[in-house]
Amino acid sequence: MSVSGFYYGAASRILAEVPQPDSGGAAPDKLSSAVKVALNLLAWAGTAAGVVGVLVTGIMMAISHKRGESSEHMSRLGMVLGGCILVAAAGPTVSWVFEQAG
């Protein structure tokens, strides 16, 4: 018996002893609702972080303007707004992918 055959035989015996769920492949309701709550909280946190980022960038732009300094705040504002778009698009994109898969 070769080494790979030994590992294959051991793996098949271990996998044969693993109990199979009888839920038909669906997640339990408690788990599903907990994941939805967690994703909603993360979406709200991402939105709040985007708002704070825009406010901080605006404050920094105002301070630099008052001091007469020129700075690259528009690129920072672009990155913050890009992050906001990414957070806003993540939820619907994931929902669409899982609807197509299911």
Comparing 73 with 9, the larger pLDDT belongs to 73
Which pTM value belongs to this model? Answer: 0.61
Q: How far apart are CA 102 and CA 80, in angstroms?
A: 34
pLDDT in tens, 86-99: 888 888 887 777 77
The angle formed by the CA atoms of residues 4, 6 and 7, to the nearest 5 degrees, is 65
Residue keyed to tokens 């002893």:
17
pLDDT in tens, 29-74: 788 788 888 888 888 898 899 999 999 988 988 888 888 877 777 8
